[in-house]
Structure 1
Amino acid sequence: MLKQTIYELLTEMGEDENENQILQFPDEDKSFTAKKLLECVNAAARGLLASGLKHGDRFAVCISNRSEWAILAVAASATGTIMVPINTSVRQNNLRYFLDKAGVKLIFYSWTYKHAKHQKLFSAGFKIEVQHLND
Protein backbone atom coordinates (compact mmCIF):
# COMPACT_ATOMS: atom_id res chain seq x y z
CA MET A 1 0.00 0.00 0.00
CA LEU A 2 1.29 3.44 -0.91
CA LYS A 3 1.76 5.89 1.92
CA GLN A 4 1.84 8.90 -0.38
CA THR A 5 -0.86 11.14 -1.70
CA ILE A 6 -1.36 11.22 -5.43
CA TYR A 7 0.17 14.71 -5.38
CA GLU A 8 3.29 13.51 -3.57
CA LEU A 9 3.71 10.71 -6.08
CA LEU A 10 3.24 13.13 -8.99
CA THR A 11 5.79 15.51 -7.44
CA GLU A 12 8.38 12.71 -7.39
CA MET A 13 7.56 11.78 -10.96
CA GLY A 14 7.68 15.43 -12.06
CA GLU A 15 11.25 15.80 -10.82
CA ASP A 16 12.35 13.11 -13.28
CA GLU A 17 13.39 14.31 -16.72
CA ASN A 18 11.41 11.50 -18.35
CA GLU A 19 9.25 12.89 -21.15
CA ASN A 20 6.89 9.90 -21.33
CA GLN A 21 3.21 10.73 -21.40
CA ILE A 22 1.42 9.64 -18.25
CA LEU A 23 -2.07 10.95 -19.00
CA GLN A 24 -3.95 11.40 -22.26
CA PHE A 25 -7.26 12.98 -23.23
CA PRO A 26 -7.77 12.08 -26.90
CA ASP A 27 -11.08 13.96 -27.17
CA GLU A 28 -9.24 17.16 -26.26
CA ASP A 29 -6.08 16.24 -28.16
CA LYS A 30 -4.12 16.71 -24.91
CA SER A 31 -1.47 14.62 -23.26
CA PHE A 32 0.67 15.25 -20.21
CA THR A 33 4.11 14.28 -19.04
CA ALA A 34 4.50 14.12 -15.27
CA LYS A 35 6.30 17.48 -15.32
CA LYS A 36 3.58 19.20 -17.39
CA LEU A 37 0.78 17.68 -15.29
CA LEU A 38 2.55 18.82 -12.12
CA GLU A 39 2.78 22.38 -13.50
CA CYS A 40 -0.97 22.37 -14.26
CA VAL A 41 -1.82 20.88 -10.88
CA ASN A 42 0.29 23.46 -9.04
CA ALA A 43 -1.40 26.28 -10.97
CA ALA A 44 -4.83 24.85 -10.11
CA ALA A 45 -3.80 24.43 -6.46
CA ARG A 46 -2.70 28.07 -6.30
CA GLY A 47 -6.06 29.04 -7.82
CA LEU A 48 -7.99 27.01 -5.25
CA LEU A 49 -6.12 28.66 -2.40
CA ALA A 50 -6.41 32.12 -4.00
CA SER A 51 -10.18 31.63 -4.14
CA GLY A 52 -10.16 31.41 -0.34
CA LEU A 53 -10.42 27.66 0.08
CA LYS A 54 -8.54 26.19 3.02
CA HIS A 55 -7.54 22.70 4.11
CA GLY A 56 -10.74 20.68 4.61
CA ASP A 57 -12.96 22.98 2.53
CA ARG A 58 -15.05 21.41 -0.21
CA PHE A 59 -15.42 22.36 -3.84
CA ALA A 60 -17.61 20.71 -6.45
CA VAL A 61 -16.75 19.70 -9.99
CA CYS A 62 -19.58 19.27 -12.49
CA ILE A 63 -17.75 18.69 -15.75
CA SER A 64 -17.39 15.83 -18.20
CA ASN A 65 -14.37 13.57 -18.51
CA ARG A 66 -11.84 16.29 -19.29
CA SER A 67 -8.30 17.11 -18.31
CA GLU A 68 -9.50 19.80 -15.88
CA TRP A 69 -11.31 17.14 -13.85
CA ALA A 70 -8.10 15.15 -13.32
CA ILE A 71 -6.05 18.29 -12.63
CA LEU A 72 -8.53 19.51 -10.01
CA ALA A 73 -8.62 16.08 -8.35
CA VAL A 74 -4.85 16.12 -7.86
CA ALA A 75 -4.93 19.82 -6.86
CA ALA A 76 -7.34 18.84 -4.08
CA SER A 77 -4.73 16.36 -2.86
CA ALA A 78 -2.09 19.11 -2.99
CA THR A 79 -4.14 21.61 -0.97
CA GLY A 80 -5.95 19.31 1.44
CA THR A 81 -9.27 20.45 0.04
CA ILE A 82 -12.03 18.00 -0.80
CA MET A 83 -13.33 17.62 -4.33
CA VAL A 84 -17.01 16.69 -4.59
CA PRO A 85 -17.73 15.24 -8.04
CA ILE A 86 -21.24 15.97 -9.35
CA ASN A 87 -22.74 14.05 -12.26
CA THR A 88 -23.22 16.36 -15.26
CA SER A 89 -26.75 15.06 -15.83
CA VAL A 90 -27.98 15.91 -12.33
CA ARG A 91 -31.34 17.68 -12.07
CA GLN A 92 -31.45 21.23 -10.77
CA ASN A 93 -33.28 20.40 -7.52
CA ASN A 94 -30.82 17.56 -6.85
CA LEU A 95 -27.84 19.78 -7.64
CA ARG A 96 -28.98 22.32 -5.08
CA TYR A 97 -29.47 19.53 -2.50
CA PHE A 98 -26.01 18.04 -3.17
CA LEU A 99 -24.29 21.40 -2.96
CA ASP A 100 -26.11 22.30 0.28
CA LYS A 101 -25.43 18.95 1.94
CA ALA A 102 -21.81 18.79 0.88
CA GLY A 103 -21.14 22.32 2.09
CA VAL A 104 -19.20 23.29 -1.02
CA LYS A 105 -17.82 26.79 -1.29
CA LEU A 106 -16.88 26.74 -4.96
CA ILE A 107 -18.12 24.89 -8.03
CA PHE A 108 -16.40 24.31 -11.35
CA TYR A 109 -19.04 23.87 -13.99
CA SER A 110 -19.13 23.27 -17.72
CA TRP A 111 -22.06 24.98 -19.41
CA THR A 112 -22.12 22.39 -22.18
CA TYR A 113 -24.49 20.22 -20.22
CA LYS A 114 -27.26 22.05 -18.43
CA HIS A 115 -27.00 25.54 -19.89
CA ALA A 116 -29.90 27.74 -18.85
CA LYS A 117 -31.50 25.45 -16.29
CA HIS A 118 -28.55 25.46 -13.89
CA GLN A 119 -27.52 28.98 -14.82
CA LYS A 120 -30.79 30.15 -13.21
CA LEU A 121 -29.81 28.38 -10.00
CA PHE A 122 -26.42 30.08 -9.91
CA SER A 123 -27.75 33.51 -10.84
CA ALA A 124 -30.55 33.31 -8.25
CA GLY A 125 -28.26 34.20 -5.37
CA PHE A 126 -27.01 30.70 -4.59
CA LYS A 127 -24.09 31.37 -2.24
CA ILE A 128 -21.36 29.48 -4.01
CA GLU A 129 -18.61 30.89 -6.18
CA VAL A 130 -19.03 29.56 -9.71
CA GLN A 131 -16.09 29.02 -12.03
CA HIS A 132 -17.14 28.48 -15.65
CA LEU A 133 -14.91 26.27 -17.78
CA ASN A 134 -14.75 26.99 -21.49
CA ASP A 135 -15.63 24.07 -23.71
Structure 2
Amino acid sequence: MKQDIYYTRNGILVNVDFMDTVYSTLYKDGFQYTLIDDIYYKVPVDDADDNSVDMFADYGYVESGETELEGKTYKYDEFYQGTTDTFSKFLIDNNKLYAILSEDGSAMYIEKLDDSFEESILSMPSSAKEVTQEEFNTKFVEKVAGKIEE
Protein backbone atom coordinates (compact mmCIF):
# COMPACT_ATOMS: atom_id res chain seq x y z
CA MET A 1 0.00 0.00 0.00
CA LYS A 2 1.22 3.48 -0.85
CA GLN A 3 -0.13 6.71 0.63
CA ASP A 4 0.25 10.39 -0.16
CA ILE A 5 -0.75 12.45 2.86
CA TYR A 6 -1.56 16.17 2.74
CA TYR A 7 -1.90 17.68 6.19
CA THR A 8 -2.92 21.20 7.25
CA ARG A 9 -4.69 22.72 10.23
CA ASN A 10 -7.88 22.73 8.11
CA GLY A 11 -7.92 19.10 7.07
CA ILE A 12 -6.14 15.96 5.99
CA LEU A 13 -6.23 14.27 2.58
CA VAL A 14 -4.93 10.72 2.24
CA ASN A 15 -4.58 9.34 -1.29
CA VAL A 16 -4.16 5.57 -1.17
CA ASP A 17 -3.01 3.07 -3.79
CA PHE A 18 -4.16 -0.32 -2.51
CA MET A 19 -3.74 -3.35 -4.78
CA ASP A 20 -3.61 -0.98 -7.78
CA THR A 21 -6.89 0.61 -6.72
CA VAL A 22 -6.68 4.32 -5.95
CA TYR A 23 -9.02 6.02 -3.49
CA SER A 24 -8.92 9.05 -1.22
CA THR A 25 -10.05 9.94 2.27
CA LEU A 26 -10.58 13.58 3.20
CA TYR A 27 -11.06 14.71 6.81
CA LYS A 28 -12.53 18.20 6.87
CA ASP A 29 -15.14 20.24 8.73
CA GLY A 30 -16.08 17.37 11.06
CA PHE A 31 -16.62 14.82 8.28
CA GLN A 32 -14.75 11.96 6.68
CA TYR A 33 -15.25 11.78 2.92
CA THR A 34 -14.10 8.63 1.12
CA LEU A 35 -13.78 9.03 -2.65
CA ILE A 36 -13.18 6.62 -5.51
CA ASP A 37 -13.44 7.70 -9.13
CA ASP A 38 -16.39 10.11 -9.19
CA ILE A 39 -18.34 8.88 -6.14
CA TYR A 40 -17.95 9.38 -2.40
CA TYR A 41 -19.62 8.69 0.90
CA LYS A 42 -19.56 10.97 3.90
CA VAL A 43 -19.72 10.17 7.61
CA PRO A 44 -19.44 12.52 10.58
CA VAL A 45 -16.31 12.28 12.67
CA ASP A 46 -17.54 12.10 16.25
CA ASP A 47 -15.71 13.81 19.11
CA ALA A 48 -13.92 10.62 20.16
CA ASP A 49 -12.57 10.01 16.65
CA ASP A 50 -11.81 13.68 16.02
CA ASN A 51 -8.65 13.50 18.13
CA SER A 52 -7.29 10.58 16.15
CA VAL A 53 -7.87 12.49 12.89
CA ASP A 54 -5.20 14.98 13.98
CA MET A 55 -2.15 12.85 13.36
CA PHE A 56 -0.01 14.92 15.73
CA ALA A 57 -2.48 15.61 18.54
CA ASP A 58 -1.22 14.89 22.05
CA TYR A 59 2.30 13.94 20.92
CA GLY A 60 5.10 13.93 23.47
CA TYR A 61 8.83 13.38 23.14
CA VAL A 62 10.11 10.20 24.83
CA GLU A 63 13.77 9.71 23.91
CA SER A 64 16.41 9.64 21.20
CA GLY A 65 18.72 6.78 20.36
CA GLU A 66 19.69 4.28 17.71
CA THR A 67 17.77 1.32 16.35
CA GLU A 68 18.19 -1.22 13.60
CA LEU A 69 15.90 -1.68 10.62
CA GLU A 70 16.61 -4.19 7.86
CA GLY A 71 20.23 -4.59 8.93
CA LYS A 72 21.06 -0.88 9.09
CA THR A 73 21.37 1.32 12.17
CA TYR A 74 19.42 4.59 12.27
CA LYS A 75 19.21 7.45 14.73
CA TYR A 76 15.68 8.03 15.98
CA ASP A 77 13.48 10.30 18.04
CA GLU A 78 10.68 8.46 19.81
CA PHE A 79 7.29 10.01 20.53
CA TYR A 80 4.22 8.92 22.46
CA GLN A 81 0.75 9.81 21.19
CA GLY A 82 -1.74 9.97 24.04
CA THR A 83 -4.87 9.89 21.87
CA THR A 84 -3.93 6.49 20.44
CA ASP A 85 -1.76 5.29 23.36
CA THR A 86 1.07 4.37 20.94
CA PHE A 87 4.80 4.92 20.57
CA SER A 88 6.49 5.76 17.26
CA LYS A 89 10.15 6.08 16.33
CA PHE A 90 11.00 8.64 13.65
CA LEU A 91 14.09 7.21 11.94
CA ILE A 92 16.63 9.61 10.43
CA ASP A 93 19.00 8.84 7.55
CA ASN A 94 21.39 11.51 6.22
CA ASN A 95 19.56 14.16 8.28
CA LYS A 96 16.23 13.34 6.61
CA LEU A 97 13.18 11.49 7.88
CA TYR A 98 13.54 7.97 6.49
CA ALA A 99 10.73 6.02 8.15
CA ILE A 100 8.28 5.97 11.03
CA LEU A 101 8.53 2.74 12.99
CA SER A 102 5.46 1.68 14.98
CA GLU A 103 5.74 -0.16 18.26
CA ASP A 104 4.41 -3.31 16.54
CA GLY A 105 7.45 -3.23 14.22
CA SER A 106 5.67 -2.03 11.08
CA ALA A 107 7.39 0.72 9.15
CA MET A 108 6.05 3.57 7.03
CA TYR A 109 8.81 4.60 4.62
CA ILE A 110 8.98 8.25 3.66
CA GLU A 111 9.68 8.67 -0.05
CA LYS A 112 9.17 12.43 -0.11
CA LEU A 113 8.51 15.05 2.52
CA ASP A 114 7.40 18.41 1.13
CA ASP A 115 5.28 21.18 2.59
CA SER A 116 4.60 22.98 -0.67
CA PHE A 117 1.13 22.18 -1.98
CA GLU A 118 -2.03 24.15 -2.59
CA GLU A 119 -4.50 23.89 0.28
CA SER A 120 -7.27 23.76 -2.32
CA ILE A 121 -6.34 20.08 -2.74
CA LEU A 122 -8.28 19.55 0.50
CA SER A 123 -11.67 19.86 -1.17
CA MET A 124 -14.11 17.50 -2.81
CA PRO A 125 -14.25 17.60 -6.61
CA SER A 126 -17.42 19.40 -7.71
CA SER A 127 -18.22 16.53 -10.09
CA ALA A 128 -18.24 13.90 -7.31
CA LYS A 129 -21.59 12.31 -6.49
CA GLU A 130 -22.53 11.30 -2.94
CA VAL A 131 -23.61 7.66 -2.53
CA THR A 132 -24.31 5.37 0.42
CA GLN A 133 -21.45 3.56 2.08
CA GLU A 134 -22.85 0.28 0.74
CA GLU A 135 -22.80 1.58 -2.85
CA PHE A 136 -19.26 2.84 -2.35
CA ASN A 137 -18.09 -0.48 -0.87
CA THR A 138 -19.64 -2.40 -3.76
CA LYS A 139 -17.74 -0.29 -6.30
CA PHE A 140 -14.52 -0.60 -4.31
CA VAL A 141 -14.77 -4.41 -4.13
CA GLU A 142 -15.61 -4.57 -7.85
CA LYS A 143 -12.52 -2.53 -8.67
CA VAL A 144 -10.22 -4.61 -6.47
CA ALA A 145 -11.71 -7.87 -7.80
CA GLY A 146 -11.29 -6.62 -11.36
CA LYS A 147 -7.59 -5.99 -10.70
CA ILE A 148 -7.14 -9.48 -9.26
CA GLU A 149 -8.86 -11.20 -12.20
CA GLU A 150 -6.71 -9.40 -14.81
Greater C-alpha radius of gyration: 2
TM-score band by shorter chain is: under 0.3
Q: Which structure would you say has the larger RCO, counting Cα contacts within 8 Å and 6 or more residues apart?
A: 1
Larger relative helix fraction: 1
TM-score, structure 1 as length reference? 0.23
Larger relative strand fraction: 2
